Structure 1
Amino acid sequence: MKLLLVVVLLVSMHANSQQVYSKKEPFAHTYSIVARDTVTGEMGVAVQSHWFSVGSLVAWGKAGVGVVATQSFINPSFGPRGLSLLENGLTPKLAVETLLKLDEGRDVRQLAILDVHGNVSAYTGKNCIEAAGHIVGNNFSVQANLMEKNTVWPAMEKAYKNATGSLAERMLIAMEAAQSEGGDIRGKQSVAILVVKAKSTGNSWEDKVVDLRVEDSENPLKEMRRLLTIHKAYEFMNKGDLAVEHNNFKLAKEHYKNAQKLNPDNLEMKYWYAVTLANNGEMKEAKSIFKKVFKQNKNWKELIPRLVKSKLLLVSKKQLKRILKL
């Protein structure tokens, strides 16, 4: 049955191949990395380019299946079709070969595909604008074209292999190394990071671990680092909210505190931390934080009675009055 599905898919690809290569195609001359975390099994793509919204066409991924980076003169169909080929049993090597065989624009394409097992294959067309090339490593591949110099992707490889932290963090480090080495000869404009889970939950909205984009910026990698830090902070917030749902206010306090460390100027994070302190009976510290938050934005005070009504703020009537007088 899988073989039949693959055959049908290939026929469909061939029928549409004439529509893919044209002068109207987007050209994301860029550098990217596809990688798999050998501990968590998460798979990701990170990409940066001097082109608007590079992530919308270059980076593709599906939990439990794999990830794809299609760039240079982009063939956007390589994303969904590459994933479909993996899902139907092809290796990344065979998927790359199949996609390119049916594509008249193969000489100007750059493509990397990685599967859920960490197998990876990459391709750089002979007419990709120099400096262009790729390196396939263990559970990752780095690729680049239209670079200032041919040391960009080797710098990415070295940085990634020496990096620590989450998969998204390590991929970002590789991207920063590329930029430090010269990056895209035209400059920089947009960046994207996509990370998917090793196994699908069956709910697509739960399968993406990270899905961040900077569509247009003078310094997209700096902005991406800021966003990734905020993303980590909100992960702690989400964990805190989950702990509150289970009435574990002590654990919630810890998560909210960690979130504030990463994003100290965020009023909402301070507010929910104060709510948790109040629920833990630590009213003195809670009121001190509430007072500072209310001073900056009175709407947070308006929310207090609503939280009491929803049983998210567990205080007595006397304590409620004191909070509202702050």
Structure 2
Amino acid sequence: MTFSIVACDPRTGSWGVGVASKYLAAGSMVPAAQADVGALATQAYTNASFRPLGLSALRNGRSADETLDSLLSGDSGRAARQIGIVDGRGGSALWTGSDCSPYAGGTRGDGYAVLGNLLTGQEVIAAMADTWTGGDPERPLAHRLREVLQAGETAGGDRRGRQSAAILVARRGSDYILGSDIEIDLRVDDHDFPLTELGRLLDLRYEAPP
């Protein structure tokens, strides 16, 4: 019921997730990230426990593939799950269960994974991946994540429509929130044009830091 990107920018020590969906408050359920550790998105019939369990496995040195295997091995509902992971070394892993609502699929590469379900078609995934791989690596990760989401929506997005969107970025050395590595945690929970609103909030965040 969602499309998302999980990616990292080792240049700035940033790991993050961008997500959009025709579902209320997708940002409260899908993304997890920790700088130099990794990031993940859990969606479709979301298993929220994958977020803390996945980050814990990544902190303990497991690769993206090993983390994915550990999450799925104990989950009897894995056929209905969709997961994307990028580890602290930029390795990526992807899972789309056979029971995910079509169109469901994804692609991955060095430092990123793109995934979605209940999409208008494979062209959504292709547009997102092309936007990531063809993007400006000097741009802040949060802006690049939003650009990827916008490309997915323009290509068709969630076949039910729009409702929510979010960006979560953790960066090495971030002092935005005391005691945390979270640099960006912006959510649009219910909006007619959530990606437009998310872009407005993102601009405000960069223009007016605390």
Question: Do both share a fold (TM > 0.5)?
Answer: yes
Q: 1:107 aligns with which of 71, 79, 84?
A: 79
Structure 2 equivalent of residue 323 of structure 1: none
One-letter code aligned to 2:40: V
- 1:79 matched to 2:51? The reply is yes
Q: Which has the higher strand share?
A: 2
- 1:94 matched to 2:94? The reply is no
Instruction: Provide, for residues 248-285 of structure 1, a one-character-per-residue CA deviation record: whole Å limited to 9, x for no partner.
Output: xxxxxxxxxxxxxxxxxxxxxxxxxxxxxxxxxxxxxx
Q: Which consecutive segments of 4 or more residues in structure 1 shift more than 2 A? A: 198-201, 203-206
- Kindly state the Cα deviation for residue 128 of structure 1 after the two structures are TM-superposed: 0.8
Q: 1:130 aligns with which of 88, 102, 106?
A: 102
- Kindly state the Cα deviation for residue 161 of structure 1 after the two structures are TM-superposed: 1.6
Q: Distance in 2 between matches of 1:194 and 1:64?
A: 14
- 1:198 matched to 2:172? The reply is yes
CA RMSD after TM alignment: 1.5
Structure 2 equivalent of residue 272 of structure 1: none
Q: Which has the higher helix share?
A: 1
- 1:152 matched to 2:124? The reply is yes
Larger RCO: 1 or 2 (CA < 8 Å, sep 6+): 2
Q: Secondary structure at the match of 2:208?
A: helix
Per the normalisation by structure 1, the TM-score is: 0.61
Structure 2 equivalent of residue 232 of structure 1: 206
Q: Secondary structure at the match of 1:226?
A: helix
One-letter code aligned to 2:166: A
One-letter code aligned to 2:104: A
Q: Which has the larger radius of gyration?
A: 1
Q: Secondary structure at the match of 2:29?
A: helix
- 1:62 matched to 2:34? The reply is yes
Q: 1:170 aligns with which of 127, 140, 144?
A: 144
Q: Secondary structure at the match of 1:221?
A: helix
Distance change >3 Å, CA 46–CA 78, structure 1 → 2: same
- 1:53 matched to 2:51? The reply is no
Counting aligned pairs with the same residue, the percent is 39
Instruction: Provide, for residues 26-52 of structure 1, a one-character-per-residue CA deviation record: whole Å limited to 9, x for no partner.
Output: xxx100000001311200000000011
Q: Secondary structure at the match of 2:86?
A: strand
One-letter code aligned to 1:127: D
Instruction: Provide, for residues 46-96 of structure 1, a one-character-per-residue CA deviation record: whole Å limited to 9, x for no partner.
Output: 000001110111011123311110000000000000000111121110110
One-letter code aligned to 1:94: E
Structure 2 equivalent of residue 187 of structure 1: 161
- Kindly state the Cα deviation for residue 199 of structure 1 after the two structures are TM-superposed: 5.8
Structure 2 equivalent of residue 220 of structure 1: 194
Gaps of 5+ in 2: none
Q: Distance in 2 between matches of 1:39 and 1:81?
A: 26
One-letter code aligned to 1:135: T
Tell me if the contact between 2:91 and 2:111 (Cα under 8 Å) persists in the aligned partners.
Answer: yes
- Kindly state the Cα deviation for residue 200 of structure 1 after the two structures are TM-superposed: 7.8
Tell me if the contact between 1:71 and 1:111 (Cα under 8 Å) persists in the aligned partners.
Answer: yes
Q: How does 1:17-36 map to 2 (within 5 A)?
A: 29-36=1-8
- Kindly state the Cα deviation for residue 212 of structure 1 after the two structures are TM-superposed: 0.4
Aligned residue pairs total 207
Distance change >3 Å, CA 38–CA 63, structure 1 → 2: closer
Q: Distance in 2 between matches of 1:79 and 1:30?
A: 16
